[in-house]
């Protein structure tokens, strides 16, 4: 019973770490990365549609994204969506494709982005601790069904799982900070 609770908690924490990693991918660095456009939605015939469903995105150069719409009539809408997304990118179009050039980040913007990723990491840690708290409560509710030693052992193992996932988030954060500081 306790093992099942621990496995479930570990799976939820794995999802949290994966989510944090996905969130980090959407933070712009000095290099082009197609994942940055995952949050961009385009008003396509009155419906907010993810950009990936309307166009293919490629990275022909380290500082350039190429967005090729499947329907050429939506190019203007994609440009507007990218401009209003807050990514700091200025799209330029030739009628067939949209080019998104990634200007180098200045020091002030790098420090702002580091604050953003630290906040995302903290939210991930909070989610991991919330999973730990709920699982600990579930383990403690088994009192009477299992021995006190099993409950203490389960809580100890739960703490180790929590620490492992928290360390993983910290490692991902450290890597992302280094990527942001790279000139």
- How many structural domains are present in the chain? 2
Taking each helix axis from N to C terminus, what angle separates 148-181 and 2-25, rounded to the nearest 10 degrees? Answer: 10
Measure CA of the first residue to CA of the last residue in the chain; give whole Å: 51
How crowded is residue 68: how many other Cβ atoms within 10 Å of its Cβ?
13
For 71-82, how does the pLDDT look when each residue is reduced to its tens digit (9 = 90+)? Answer: 888 999 999 998
pLDDT at 182: 78
| pTM for this prediction | 0.72
Residue ending a domain, among 101, 124, 156, is 101
* Chain centroid offset of residue 166 CA: 15
- CA gap 36, 111 in Å, rounded: 18
Residue ending a domain, among 101, 123, 144, is 101
Show the low-confidence residues of the chain (pLDDT under 70).
30, 183
Q: Give percent above pLDDT 90 in the chain.
A: 49
pLDDT at 90: 85
Residue ending a domain, among 72, 101, 130, is 101
């Amino acid at each position: 019973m306790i093992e099942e609770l621990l496995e479930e908690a570990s799976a939820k924490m794995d999802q949290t770490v994966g989510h944090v990693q996905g969130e980090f991918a959407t933070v712009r660095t000095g290099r082009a990365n197609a994942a940055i456009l995952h949050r961009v939605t385009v008003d396509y015939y009155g419906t907010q549609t993810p950009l990936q469903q309307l166009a293919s995105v490629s990275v022909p150069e380290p500082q350039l994204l190429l967005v090729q719409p499947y329907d050429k009539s939506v190019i203007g809408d994609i440009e507007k969506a990218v401009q209003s997304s807050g990514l700091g990118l200025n799209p330029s179009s030739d009628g067939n494709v949209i080019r998104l050039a990634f200007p180098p980040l200045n020091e002030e913007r790098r420090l702002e982005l580091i604050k953003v990723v630290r906040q995302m990491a903290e939210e991930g840690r909070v989610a991991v601790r919330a999973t730990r708290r709920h699982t600990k409560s579930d383990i403690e509710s088994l009192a009477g069904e299992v021995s006190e030693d099993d409950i203490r052992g389960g809580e100890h193992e739960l703490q180790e799982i929590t620490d492992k996932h928290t360390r993983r988030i910290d490692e991902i954060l450290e890597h992302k900070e280094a990527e942001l500081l790279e000139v």
